[in-house]
Structure 1
Amino acid sequence: MGWSTREVADLAGTTVNTVRHYHRVGLLEMPERLSNGYKSYEVRHLVDLLRIRRLRELGVPVHQIDRVAAGDDRAAAALEDIDAELAATIERLQEARAQIRTIADGATTADLPPGFENLGSRLTATDRSLMLIYSQVYDDEAMRDIRAMLESDPEDVRVDFDALPPDADEETRRALAVRYAVGLAHDLKAYPWLRDPLAHHKRRPQITWEMVAESVAALYNPAQLDVIARATAVATATVEASEE
């Protein structure tokens, strides 16, 4: 006497839906039906189901199981590919564990992209938010440059900029923009791509530009945005003059 779908699923330690899925994708042969219309699974179906489950536990994707089960050169190649994928996954998980340990120990916060952990104490909540957004916009090379820029930023200018109230007067904005422009001019020379930030984008140019522009506008107050605009104009003019 054979087993029902639920019985064979229980014997294999899986679910009825999983068994049905394996039928749909062609991994598990459909059993004969009894006179009452119910499926009747035999030992061979159970063995096949256990074999599939074993391969799934080893990390073999469903679409690769046929290749692995073939037992020929295709199987060896598939296993090599899967082993490489598992190695990469292990590396990512180990890196994730290290970062979680750093956060748990209080050395950094959870709202910083990888590589920025040592800057946690120097960055405001606004800065950290912007770095997370940048990590989705710019490639690894650009993020390394941005980290270097943050590390070399004059502390006094950053503190004054972060503390700038939205209703700061004209003279305060002008003076801070001049100071801000000094470091910005240095960065524009050291990292020429800043004048064409789309050169290091990871997404479509229009999406990148809109994402950065909207994020900056939302995260900084009107006085800070004014200082950024003035400083950018001064720094750009300074760099262009030095190149003539």
Structure 2
Amino acid sequence: MAWSTRELAELAGTTVRSVRLYHERGLLEEPDRRPNGYKQYEVRHLLSLLRIRRLSELGVPLSKIDVVREGDSSSPETLRALDAELAASIERQVKARSAIAAILSDGGPVDVPEGFEAVASRLSSADSSLVHLYGRLYTQEAMSDLRRMVESDGSTLVGDELDALPPDADDGTRQRLADQLTPEIARHLASHPWLTSPGARLSTSEGAAREMFADAVVELYNPAQLDVLQRASRAAHETLGLDPGSTPSS
């Protein structure tokens, strides 16, 4: 019995294009041709193609299929490396499913920073953007602390009012909001002393972190909001007897 390329592909559950690719890579032997020039595949070609397909389904790269198929001495190492890649892929997928479930449950934005899905509703657009940047500046341990800070924050009413604060807000309104935010900031500074000396928790230089943070807050918050945050931060530092300039997030 002999089959055409199309028939062989259908029997193996693949495509003509894949069969041609396997020929190009030297994985599948070229068959004899009929007098009219058409290829005629036999059972041995089908079996070879099925084995190639099986290894491909397991995730073996085309460049490694011959090594694994022929039982080369490096074959076990190739399979162990593939297994490690699959394990990492499964872990990423499990994390992604967990994140999606949290987003759907909480109704937060889809692009919420990783690890903050369950508290997305507590973050304003500016806060969420800042957390994205923090993810590039701080270690995972520091990001875990930041997530706990968001989780422990009290009423979101102050945050909502700060989000809606117009650029020309009067001084009295600014000071009132700063006074309301001060205890919360002071509590975070007291609970997480590394905030006043973040060097060990940074994945970049402290100078670069300060520069990125300074540029970001100017773009993300309007002048009145920035003024409120600066007043509250200074007051919180003073309450704890700390240098107001001791942390890039001050």
TM-score by length of 2: 0.70
- Residue matched to 1:28: 28
Query: 2:194 maps to which residue?
Result: 192
Equivalents in 1 of 2:235, 2:183: separation in Å?
9
The structural deviation recorded for 1:213 is 5.6
> Relative to 1, partners in 2 of residues 1:133 and 1:16: Cα closer, same or farther, differing over 3 Å?
farther
Measured at CA, do residues 118 and 172 of structure 1 come closer, stay the same or move farther in structure 2, by a change above 3 Å?
A: same
**In percent, how many aligned pairs have the same letter?**
48
**Unpaired segments ≥5 residues, structure 2:** none
Distance 1:45 1:138 in 2: 55
Instruction: Describe how 1:20-169 pairs up with structure 2 within 5 A.
Output: 20-33=20-33, 37-104=37-104, 106-109=105-108, 110-135=110-135, 138-153=138-153, 155=155, 157-169=158-170
Whether the aligned pair in 2 keeps the contact of 1:9 and 1:16 (CA below 8 Å) is yes
Paired position in structure 1 for 2:5: 5
Residue 16 (structure 1) shift: 1.9
User: Which residue type is aligned with residue 6 of structure 1?
Assistant: R
Instruction: Give 1:173's aligned amino acid.
Output: R
Q: Which amino acid aligns with 2:226?
A: L
Native 8 Å contact 1:198 1:208 kept in 2: no
Cα drift, residue 14 of structure 1:
0.9
SS in 2 for 1:26: coil
Mark the CA change 1:231 to 1:50 in structure 2 (over 3 Å): closer, same or farther: same
> Could you tell me the TM-score, scaled by structure 1's length?
0.72
Which of these residues, 216, 227, 240, is aligned with residue 243 of structure 2? 240
Residue 51 of structure 1 and its aligned partner are, at CA, apart by 0.7
Mapped partners of 1:235, 1:123: distance in 2: 21
CA contact (8 A) 1:28 1:49 kept: yes
Contact 1:5 1:39 in 2 (8 A): yes
Residue 226 of structure 2 is matched in structure 1 by 225
For structure 1, the residue ranges without an aligned partner over 5 or more in a row are none
Aligned residues: 239
Q: For the structure 1 residues 193 and 103, does the alpha-carbon distance in structure 2 shift closer, same or farther, using more than 3 Å as the test?
A: closer
Whole-Å Cα distance in 1 between the matches of residues 16 and 56 of structure 2?
A: 16
Change in Cα spacing, 1:213 to 1:201, as seen in structure 2 (3 Å) is farther
Partner of 1:19: 19
Q: Which amino acid aligns with 2:30?
A: M
C-alpha separation in 2, matches of 1:39 and 1:144: 61
Residue type matched to 1:166 in 2?
A: P
| Alpha-carbon spacing, 1:198–1:179, altered in 2? closer, same or farther (3 Å) | farther
Letter in 1 for 2:21: H
Offset, 1:178: 5.6
| 1-structure distance, mates of 2:25, 2:114 | 39
Which one-letter code corresponds to 1:239 in the other structure? L
1:95 deviation in Å? 3.4
- Per-residue deviation at 1:10? 2.0
Deviation at 1:37, TM superposition (A): 4.9
Partner SS, residue 29 of structure 2:
coil
Q: What one-letter code is carried by the residue in structure 1 that aligns with 2:52?
A: I
CA offset at residue 240 of structure 1? 2.5
